[in-house]
Amino acid sequence: MIERLGLRALHAFEPERAHGLALAALRAGLAPKPGPITSPRLATSVAGIDLPNPLGLAAGFDKNAVAINPLLRTGLGFVEVGAATPRPQPGNPKPRLFRLTGDRAVINRFGFNNEGVEAIAARLAARREQGVLGLNLGANKDSADRAADFADVLQKSGELVDFVTVNVSSPNTEKLRDLQGAEALSRLLSGVMEARDGLAKPPKVFLKIAPDLDTSELAELCSVAEAAGIDAIVATNTTLGREGLTDPQANEAGGLSGAPLFEGSTAVLREVRGLTGGRIPLIGVGGIGSGAQAYAKVRAGASAVQLYSALVYEGLGLVPRILTELETLLERDGFATVTDAVGVDA
């Protein structure tokens, strides 16, 4: 009830202001602290990274890594911060974040606003809480070589995290999605993997893809990712689609996330599972707001899942509810572990 009242109060503010207040509340300790949530059935691993449970926080909530410690105490299996770019940048003009309450969705056009990798890396180095932590890699809007930006951020921060995610799928930086083409992506990933291999403590490297790719584009992307030795594919980022929305703000420019993304992102996840044949672990993202939806992603091929937009409407108390429901569903269907259920519907 307290969390519900807090959410109602936050929703009285403009969305980006509310987002900042939510981060401040986390830092002040005003958030649920269930601690590590795990069980023999929920414990799993992705790309060799052991997780207490398969539910993670997607990038974008804590762009500047200011709330790492409290987030790692919320029961999540892993947390991803960022995106970080080599140099600080303000992002796109405000307003740039919109709640589509009737659709249980969010549209954002932030444009990689962040304080830059130097400030973010300092916070990563200072974290006290144990747990699996990742960093989303981005590129500066005005960079002469955006592909090189990803390697630059990795070199400066990679030893401080368990994984990094190459984000070439945000729709809010002009022409960034062009880097998903085979030739450009191959060059980018080659530079990233070379930078990773030069680190004393190399992180795993994930690739985050858009939900708006057709079958031939997905096949090409999966082939490049596999050839590059990518450790996991994150499917998917936000969509440019607007089908079925009813909220008056539905035509705002930017990437759509939340409930309307669930079906499309899950279909892409299932297709990527088929294209990769289970050779590359997958992380399912897009529209998760319940244990049943997390379970559907697992059955479609995800070894782990991430959420973000549902927290806008449900708060962090949603985390233990999803995990409780997920464990119940796994037990109901006779799966001893999450891993046993991965891809059974793919």
Annotated catalytic residues are: 170
Q: Quick check: 112 and 89 in contact, CB under 8 A?
A: yes
Helix locations, 55-145, DSSP H: 68-71, 117-126
Q: In angstroms, rounded to a whole number, what is the distance separating the alpha carbons of residues 266 and 340?
A: 19
Structure tokens at 89: 């940048």
Helix 182-197, helix 215-228: angle, nearest 10: 30
User: In sequence order, what are the residues at sequence separation of 6 or more whose Cβ sits closer than 8 angstroms to the Cβ of residue 262?
Assistant: 286, 287, 288, 289, 293
Q: Tokens 């990563």 appear where?
A: 124
What is the bridge-based pairing of β-strands 105-108 and 255-258? antiparallel
Question: Three-state SS for 285?
Answer: strand
Structure tokens at 193: 């993997």
Of 57, 64, 63, nearest to 31 by C-alpha is: 57
Residue positions counted in the chain:
346
Query: 51 - beta bridge partners?
Result: 44
